[in-house]
């Protein structure tokens, strides 16, 4: 693909500070398509969902691989899912929840690509990987598992050690109801104390602290869990935020 509109679309990234214009855009239908381009020796970079910054997904006079072409979920069974590297986490969750399953960890923003997230090496995501399919710099399509040199290299390799084209991700039972806590604190000392209390108690699956500027400064605690939980002696009972759909794939959100 080499039309002007397609080239313009991949000449900038989410940061908007750098511009590099490729010669062509490849929308692959299989890992073999990417391998063929790499074997030609053409400069190549992979682009997931376009959320990279500082030019990581840009290339001058080369080929941008639009990984959205590989965006499918191939298999969902108890214990794991097989998904394309260009699939978004939203696509993954929408495929697994009808089966009552979910990845143990997903990013806060679900519209990131699986391959892009793994290429940044988030520890929580890496710990739940069972297998990867990777196109190496020499144009070989290789399947690798935890413990191999290639597996370790591509996770956090920013696409420089290989392009992740498929991933086998561990799945766990999804809770029927997720509860959300959102509380403002008067200062960072109180916020940090509440965060520490929740983390050490193990009551929640996710805890985050935010400091936002509005009329002044707001210190906000956000936490998610599948059971009632307490902080500073108060039981938190919140409304359901997310429900698992039935097997027809409906009702993902209340």
Active site residues: 51, 108, 208
CB atoms within 10 A of CB 56: 20
CA distance between the termini of the chain: 41
* Contact criterion met (CB below 8 Å) for 57 and 79: no
CA distances, 120 to each of 1, 124, 155, 159, 194 (Å): 27, 11, 6, 9, 30
The helix (H) or strand (E) run that includes residue 136 is none
Per-residue CA distances from 106 to 110, 118, 126 (Å)? 7, 11, 11
CB count within 10 Å of CB 231 equals 20
CB 223 within 8 A of CB 185: no
Question: How far is residue 74's CA from residue 92's CA, in Å, rounded to a whole number?
Answer: 10
DSSP for 69-122? GS--EEEEETTEEEEETT-BHHHHHHHHGGGTEE-S---SSTTSBHHHHHHTT-
């Amino acid at each position: 693909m080499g039309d002007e509109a397609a080239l313009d679309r991949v000449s900038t990234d989410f940061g908007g500070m750098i511009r590099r214009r490729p010669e062509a855009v490849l929308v692959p239908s299989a890992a073999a398509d990417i391998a063929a381009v790499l074997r030609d020796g053409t400069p190549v970079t992979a682009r997931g969902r376009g959320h990279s910054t500082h030019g990581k997904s840009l290339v001058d006079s080369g080929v941008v691989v639009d990984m959205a072409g590989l965006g499918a979920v191939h298999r969902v069974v108890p214990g794991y899912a097989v998904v394309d590297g260009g699939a978004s986490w939203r696509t993954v969750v929408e495929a697994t929840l009808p089966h009552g399953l979910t990845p143990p960890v997903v990013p806060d923003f679900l519209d990131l690509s699986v391959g892009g997230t793994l290429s940044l090496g988030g520890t929580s995501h890496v710990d739940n990987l069972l297998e990867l399919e990777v196109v190496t710099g020499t144009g070989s399509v290789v399947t690798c598992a935890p413990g191999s040199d290639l597996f370790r290299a591509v996770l956090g390799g920013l696409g420089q050690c290989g392009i992740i084209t498929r991933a086998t991700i561990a799945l766990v039972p999804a809770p029927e109801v997720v509860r959300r806590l959102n509380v403002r604190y008067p200062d960072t000392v109180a916020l940090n104390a509440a965060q520490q209390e929740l983390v050490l108690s193990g009551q929640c699956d996710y805890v985050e602290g935010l400091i936002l500027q509005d009329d002044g400064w707001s210190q906000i605690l956000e936490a998610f869990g599948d059971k009632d939980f307490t902080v500073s002696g108060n039981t938190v009972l919140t409304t359901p935020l997310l429900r698992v759909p039935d097997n027809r794939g409906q009702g993902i959100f209340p």
